[in-house]
Amino acid sequence: MSQKLKYISRIKDEFDTIICGVNGVFAYGDNILTPAVDALIKLYQSGKKITLASNSGMRVRDLYYALKQKDVPMNIFYAMITAGEIAHFYLKNHRQGEIYFNLSGNEANVVRGLDYKPADSIVMADFVLAETDSGGLSVAEVSPLLEQALHLHLPLLCVGNNTAVAGNNGIIESVGAVAEQYALMGGQVIPFGKPDQRIAAYLTENVAGFRKDKCLVIGDNMATDMRMGNSFGVRTLLLTGGVHQLGENAELKLNDLSESYGLNVDYYMECLQW
């Protein structure tokens, strides 16, 4: 049974290490959630090692400066990783041809600095990219392109596995949903980001005296954040005001979600606050 919280300070003494997401935790699209940032600052002041695990398509450097420009104090974070950084490393070390097609239509973050060229037409591409961003990505809009990619036997690199994200205009469909559709069609999907538990291992490997029983994963997504926490063997806190928008009767809805996903959620609260 999940335990309801109103304030994160209630359980702060139970944990030494925090792994938290960005979007849906202390950011909502392009907006920063001040009470959540204040809570993270107080956790840091309490001696906690706070790490960031983002499914953003941005590289770590880009996310760092984007958050810093929004007055998020980046010194409070011990380590951070993004799906974009992981995908960049993969493409650097595992050649995927020469030409890519970006489903979102803009310049791909993950290939910046690498010797890959964008294709104006998918028929010229060696692989397809789908990057998570605050603008989302609609399955319906890209379905014709997925049909073409399937016919051409192109792999789809899914950078961030969120099927939905908290965007500027509410909860919107994202690249994970596109990847799921492509897989159902019979296409090859290469995923990057949460819920891969190696992300949690990477973020905590240099924490002195790290103990899994003193680690907490905070996120707003069952399929990515909570699954990563369960796979890594640590406790979890779901923010119910994020992508799942549980609202009233959150406990009953969370029980149903936990059962349908086959996951355990230790704590839940609407939004992160001290």
Q: What is the mean pLDDT of each run of 10 residues along the chain (274 residues)?
A: 94 97 91 96 98 95 96 97 97 94 86 93 95 83 95 96 80 90 97 96 96 97 96 97 86 91 95 96
For the full predicted model, state whether its pTM sits above 0.75. yes
pLDDT value at residue 104: 83
Domains of the chain (ranges; CATH) run: 3-55+195-269 (3.40.50.1000), 95-192 (3.40.50.1000)
pLDDT value at residue 7: 97
Tokens (6 digits) for 53: 């695990």
